[in-house]
Amino acid sequence: MRTDPVSLASGAAIAALGALVLLDSSGALDVSLGWIAVALSAALGVIVLVSGFAKDDSGRQD
C-alpha cells in the first residue's frame, strides 16, 4: 500500500475548495470574492509546495 503525498494533498485541497464553493452556492455560507481568492491561492500553494517537497525527495533517491 503506497500513498502519493502529492495526490493526497491535492485531493484534500481541491475537496476543501469545492466544499467552500458548494456551501457558497447553496447559500449556507456567504463567501465573498476576496475569501474565494484566499482559499484558491492557499489551495494552489499547498499543492505546489507539497509537489516541490516530493520532487526534492525523489531527487535525493536518484
Partner 1 sequence: MNATVGSPALRRDTERGLVAGVLAGFAARFGIDPVILRVGYVIVVVATGGVALLAYPVAWAAMPTSGGSPAPLSRVGGLPSIGGSWRIAVGVGLLTLSALLAFRELGIWWSDALVWPLVLAAFGAAVLWGRSRGGNGRPEPTAPAWRGAPGGSPPFESAGGDHETAAPARPSFADLYRGVFGILLVVGAALLFLTSNDILGGLRDAALTAVVVVVAIALILAPFLWRLGRNLALERAERIRSQERAELAAHLHDSVLQTLTLMQKRAADPREVAALARRQERELRDWLAGDGRRTAEPSFAAALRSAAEQVEDDHRVAIDVVVVGDRELDAHTDAVLGAAREAMLNAAKHAAAPGPIRVYAEADEDTIETFVRDHGPGFDPAQVGDDRHGVRDSIVARMNRAGGRATIRAAPEGGTEVGLAIGNDGAPRESGSA
Binding residue for partner 1 (CB under 8 A) from 1, 28, 30, 62?
1
Chain residues 7-26 in contact with partner 1, contact rule CB under 8 A: 7-8, 10-11, 14, 18, 21-22, 25
Binding residue for partner 1 (CB under 8 A) from 27, 30, 59, 61?
59
The C-alpha cell of 29 is what? 455560507
Question: Given the complex with partner 1, which of 4 and 29 has the nearer CB atom?
Answer: 4
The C-alpha cell of 28 is what? 449556507
- Pair 44, 50: CB distance under 8 Å: no
Q: Which residues contact 61 (CB under 8 A, 6 or more apart)?
A: none
Angle 5-26/33-61 helices, nearest 10 degrees? 170
List residues binding partner 1 (CB under 8 A). Answer: 1-4, 7-8, 10-11, 14, 18, 21-22, 25, 32, 34-35, 37-39, 41-42, 44-56, 59
